[in-house]
Amino acid sequence: MAFTPGFTGSVLDRVEAERLDPAIVPRLVAEGDALYLAMPDYEPATDDASLAWTALDAAIPADELVLLGRIDGRPRFTRLPGDIQPARRTPAVMALIDSLPPSDAATYGVARSLLDWHARHRFCAFCGNPSTPMRAGWARHCPACGTEHYPRTDPVVIMLAEYRRGDIAQVLVGRQPIFPPGRFSALAGFLEVGEAIEGAVARELFEEAGVRAGRIRYVASQPWPFPSQLMIACIAEVDDPTITLDTNELEDAKWVTRADVLAALAGEDGAPFLAPPSYAIAHTLLRAWAEGA
């Protein structure tokens, strides 16, 4: 099975070890070949539907430069404005993501999640004083109490329940009221403190659809930059297909066959549901299942 989940496959080298050098930003700027991605209000500069990297503008204060990493050996920066606000998910950005090459979408995802984390964490959660960026934008430091803060990534489990009877296999898809008309997708929810992936999958399936998970198998993962989740996709076998819907979460849920899923993924006119977009891991998960995962 060959598939590439959305927001993966970036050619970015994160230079994690280099970032430990407190003088890395001026050192890389001095190298002279650094490139820059403008992202005013989180909208990346593009050129022919690819990210538009330009020469680093010397007017940008060094303490506002965020080092994304290196591509083709050249340092890549973006900017953390002092007055940055949390990101909003705009239709323009979602359309852009759909058109970017996968590696560019992945690189943009890193930049977006990182800037948005700064925007939401300008104060020290331990003591309440203002914190300041450090490590080329990959951490914050509180001068008042000394606490260091690191970017946050929230694990989310997303899953298909699978019911087999004889030769017929079906998976469970559900729909939230905010979805576009006709759209159904895999069920999902945030992993909680103290949970394993498998425990969270079983809990969410029971809460949202009233089905009891048996054996659970991992399929794939991807980052999701709205604002910064780790999506963990699984399939859970169930013995009883009776659905008890949590109507606070879902307005509908139904069992669909392999043929249904393939028709939805192909965007066929008569398909029994509208599939999630290709950059969402629900799409990858449905495809993987349809192809035998």
Piece of the chain touching a copy of itself by CB under 8 A; list 90-98, 149-157, 168-176, 237-245: 149-157
Window of 37-45, 49-57, 220-228, 256-264 that interacts with a copy of itself by CB under 8 A: 220-228
Distance CA 122, CA 124 (A): 7
Angle between helices 281-290 and 258-265 (to 10 degrees): 130
CB of 214 to a copy of itself, least distance (A): 14
The answer to the question of residue 190 lying near a copy of itself (CB under 8 A) is yes
Q: Is 121 exposed, middle or buried (0-12, 13-18, 19+ CB in 10 A)?
A: middle
Q: DSSP letter for 30, please.
A: H
* Binding flag, residue 221, a copy of itself (CB under 8 A): yes
Counting beta carbons within 10 angstroms of the beta carbon of residue 233, is it exposed (0 to 12), middle (13 to 18) or buried (19 or more)? buried
Tell me the two tokens of residue 231.
């999506």
Q: Which one of residues 55, 196, 259, 266 is an interface residue with a copy of itself (CB under 8 A)?
A: 196
Q: Is 276 in the site for a copy of itself (CB under 8 A)?
A: no
- Judged by CB under 8 A, the stretch of 76-84, 89-97, 227-235, 266-274 that binds a copy of itself is 227-235
Distance between CA 244 and CA 222 in Å, rounded?
29
Give yes or no for residue 247 binding a copy of itself (CB under 8 A).
no
- Residue placing its CB nearer to a copy of itself in the complex, 90 or 129: 129
| Of positions 29, 43, 52, 199, contacts a copy of itself by CB under 8 A | 199
Asked if 194 is part of the footprint of a copy of itself (rule: CB under 8 A), the reply reads yes
Q: Is 185 helix (H, G, I), strand (E, B) or coil?
A: strand
Question: CA torsion 250→254→259→261, rounded to 10°?
Answer: 10
Both tokens assigned to 67: 């080092």
Q: Does 88 bind a copy of itself (CB under 8 A)?
A: no
Stretch that binds a copy of itself, among 26-34, 87-95, 104-112, 166-174 (CB under 8 A): 104-112
E-strand stretches of 61-181: 65-71, 74-79, 132-134, 139-141, 148-149, 154-165, 168-175
**Closer residue to a copy of itself (CB): 112 or 175:** 112
Which residues of this chain interact with a copy of itself, rule CB under 8 A? 5, 7-8, 10, 14, 16-17, 106, 109-111, 113-114, 117, 120-130, 138, 149-155, 190-199, 203, 207, 218, 220-223, 225, 228, 230, 232, 246, 248
